[in-house]
Chain A
Amino acid sequence: MKMINVRNIKKSYEHQVALNDISFDIHEGKIYGFIGRNGAGKTTMLNILAGLIRPDEGEISSEDESMVSIGYLPEEPVYYAWMTPLEYIFYLSKNECEDSCQKLLSFVGLHDHQKRRIGRLSRGMKQRLGLACALVNHPKLILLDEPASALDPQGRYDLLDRIKLLKEQGKTVVFSSHILHDVERIADEIILIEQGQLMMKGKTSDILNQFSNEMIKIKYSHIKIDEFVIYLQQLLDVKHLEVKEHELYVHIKHHDVFINIITYLADHHLIVDEISFDRPTLEQHMLEVTSHHAKST
């Protein structure tokens, strides 16, 4: 079910375009990953969605605005440093009792620090508190701006699990991250923004398949590969080859060709040191798209 329509959003800061004609939809119960380089416009878009800044043009609408409650974790969360996490969460909560606030702090891993002054918490702990703040009033839409930026690996892993758990509870999560492996792992849909422009949007799996730049890497040392190279060049599913010293990179259109290669090597008794199948990551896709965009502009 469609939750929010974002249409033709434009935003400039002192003659510098931050967002240019951005349109997308947010559907209920999905996880959206906002990706893009530093300064691409991700934070501006999240701030507009949160209602913190107004777009110069365009509109954000919802079929039932009363139903869209928002929880927001900014990139650098701000707090009253003189309050304790428990007092702060209790202050933000609309109908929660102190017990449920404590449970929420336990959920984000801050149970042992609930009575320490916020000013004395580490950056990672403040990030966790930010997540608790975003969740305290049971919002339907949760906006997280770089939620894992200050977390240790275990904390990051826990955070991703919690985001998945939120999705299971029917919440919609929109998060931005530079850690594209995380986005690839949990996002249902990806929105790539580059220099304020929407470069790519769609299902994560579709985007990964769209760039079928799969590659087979072969390492060898004691064999002659001339005939093997000629064989590969004849295969329809091979896009191109890169031959380096003791290494061969076979860029393929379809991964079925992997079987052909293995069969050929076995039939011709060619013993290689290593053969691996590389599927390009979201990071490689993003680099490809953004560098292409940079060249064209």
Chain B
Amino acid sequence: MRKALKKEWLYGIRNHRFLIVGIGLVLLGALTPLMMAYLLPELLGQQMMNLTPEEISEIFDVSQRGIVGTFLADLTEIGLLLICLVYSPLIPSEINEKTIPFTRVLGVSITRMVISKWVIFSLITMIIGASAIHIDYLYAGLIDHFDIPYTIILQSTFAWCLWITWIIALLIWVGTWMKRHVATAMIVFFGTILLYGLLNLFDLSQYTPWGLISIIRHFDTITWDVWMLGSITSGLTIGLMLVDSVKRLHHLEWIRSIRGV
């Protein structure tokens, strides 16, 4: 397993996947306070001369709560899109370049490969996301003052981490179906948003990974039963997606082309 984990780590590093996601999320975390506190009010002031500074400050909530809330919303939208686009080749590239079947013939386990992808990419993205949330929290606190208890930030970070492990599993699973990375990215991105909307309609989203995200965006305290149900739903769906991904990869007929018979 260590070898498989190292291989995924090298893939993420040498193909700059972690670097792109890292720069993207950390910049998002660092720029949100800057944009909300200085750049956007300045721009709005220049565009709409009739607005007084007081009216502009009412439009932008530059409190720590307002800035971090906006950032968490961005993290689940712009951040999700970035993660989907950058990580979408995880499985499709291996299918299209036929690296899975040939390494499998040589004894590499598909189960280990899928699990190691999920572990490494979830772990690194969790670290990146957690860092971005903390950068945003600190910067926003320095601009205004620290009005969010740190326990809430820890809770948000944990919920985001749980959500991102779910997203990575979904990327792997959809990748085994679509076999094309752009299609995988788009389906995961829009599918996640659509699913969140649908579950919200039936008031079920609070028990899912997206529901946790919704709660943390509003800095509500997540109750124990919601944590439990959210974690169980996430764990079960992640497990199902990974098991099905392995099964699908095992049963793919690799060489369909007539070329090189």
Binding site for B on A (CB under 8 A): 13-14, 16, 18, 39-44, 47, 50-54, 69-72, 74-80, 82-83, 87, 90-94, 133-134, 136-137
14 residue pairs A–B, Cβ–Cβ below 8 Å: A14-B258, A52-B105, A52-B254, A53-B253, A53-B255, A71-B106, A78-B99, A82-B10, A82-B11, A82-B14, A91-B7, A92-B103, A93-B3, A133-B106
What is the bound-complex CA distance between A90 and B175, given in angstroms? Answer: 27
Q: Which of B14, B106, B257, B260 contacts A136 (CB 8 A)?
A: B106
Contacts of B108 in A (CB 8 A): 91-92
Q: Which of A53, A80, A136 contacts B11 (CB 8 A)?
A: A80
Contacts of A39 in B (CB 8 A): 261
Find the residue from B11, B107, B108 having the highest chain A CB count within 10 A: B107
Nearest 7 interchain pairs by C-beta: A82-B14, A72-B105, A13-B258, A50-B105, A18-B261, A39-B261, A78-B98
The answer to whether A87 touches B99, judged by C-beta atoms less than 8 angstroms apart, is no
Contacts of B255 in A (CB 8 A): 47, 52-53
Find the residue from B102, B106, B257, B260 having the highest chain A CB count within 10 A: B106
B interface residue count range (under 10 / 10 to 19 / 20 to 34 / 35 or more): 20 to 34
> If A78-B97, A78-B99, A83-B7 touch, does A51 touch B105 (CB 8 Å cutoff)?
yes
A145 nearest CB across to chain B (Å): 9
> Which chain B residue has the least Cβ–Cβ distance from A17?
B261
> If A82-B11, A90-B3, A137-B107 touch, does A74 touch B261 (CB 8 Å cutoff)?
no
The answer to whether A80 touches B7, judged by C-beta atoms less than 8 angstroms apart, is yes
What is the bound-complex CA distance between A70 and B14, given in angstroms? Answer: 30
A48 nearest CB across to chain B (Å): 10
Name 7 extra pairs, CB < 8 A, besides A94-B107, A137-B107: A40-B261, A42-B261, A53-B253, A78-B97, A91-B4, A91-B6, A134-B106
A69 nearest CB across to chain B (Å): 8
The answer to whether the Cβ of B15 comes within 8 Å of any Cβ in the partner chain is: yes
Contacts of B15 in A (CB 8 A): 82
What is the bound-complex CA distance between A203 and B101, given in angstroms? Answer: 32
The answer to whether A92 touches B11, judged by C-beta atoms less than 8 angstroms apart, is no
Q: Which of B10, B97, B254 contacts A53 (CB 8 A)?
A: B254
> If A18-B261, A92-B107 touch, does A52 touch B101 (CB 8 Å cutoff)?
yes
Interface residues in B83-126 by Cβ distance below 8 A to A read 97-99, 101-103, 105-108
What is the bound-complex CA distance between A50 and B7, given in angstroms? Answer: 24
> Which chain B residue has the least Cβ–Cβ distance from A117?
B14
